[in-house]
Amino acid sequence: MLCRCGTVARRLRKAGIEFDQVRVPMRKRDRPEVEALSDQRWVPVLVHDDQAISDSHRILEYVDWVEEDS
């Protein structure tokens, strides 16, 4: 079983979408860069076209939508 970040990364690779993976501290309180992007400290976060998507389920739906449009 993969963590949410791993699941999203595997799905992006499968879709052939290039991405930069940035590792952040384990403790949520030590993630100010994540909060600056998405107004919260949970991961994963996908930033695409200046839009931050911060829920793994929404990210996977977005990837499916992008693949359909391709």
Amino acid 1: pLDDT: 62
**For the chain, which domains are there?**
4-69 (3.40.30.10)
Residue 6 has pLDDT above 90, yes or no: yes
For the segment 9-57, what is each residue's pLDDT rounded down to a tens digit?
Answer: 999 999 999 999 999 999 999 999 999 999 999 999 999 888 899 999 9
Amino acid 53: pLDDT: 96
Containing H/E element for 51? strand 51-53
CA-to-CA distance for 32 and 25, rounded, in angstroms? 10
